[in-house]
Amino acid sequence: MTTTSPSPSELKKSALIGGVINAVINGIINWFSVKDLDKVLVTDNMISSTEHTLLSGAVPLAVSLAFILSGVAYLTTKLPNKPSYFPKIFWLSMKHTFMAFGITVTFGVMWQRWMGSIEISPIMATIYTGIIAGIVAGVVNYLTVKEIIKK
């Protein structure tokens, strides 16, 4: 980014680009976890299940991305009067982390309640994982940079 505050359209464009890049990278990474499976469950009806499901992998992915990418957005934003990382951006990172956890788990519980245990192909699991990673990356980047440039 530049040394001046980005415009709202630049902020959205940057978040979209980051989201697409993360979608591709995390989709490819996920492919190596599911490529040898015949089918992948979206969710499972048991909390103690040891079976890999789409959303059991998406929760830690979303949580870790939310925290890491908040820091990356902070480090890559070049502004002269940027706030210090501790405590403001650290707590913002924690907020994004808990938000990602809550939304992903809530979506998983609602999916299981309304849709049940649905199986999908490994390629579809990879695509959906990439989409989830892209959404988290884009939203976190947007929210973090927006907070950093706030006067």
Per-residue pLDDT of the chain (151 residues; tens, 9 = 90+): 446 888 999 999 999 999 999 999 999 999 999 999 999 999 998 888 888 899 999 999 999 999 999 999 999 999 988 999 999 999 999 999 999 999 999 999 999 999 999 999 999 999 999 999 999 999 999 999 999 998 6
**Looking at residue 47, what is its pLDDT?**
82
What are the C-alpha distances in Å from 37 to residues 25, 41, 55, 68? 20, 10, 16, 29
**Beta carbons of 73 and 148 less than 8 angstroms apart:** yes
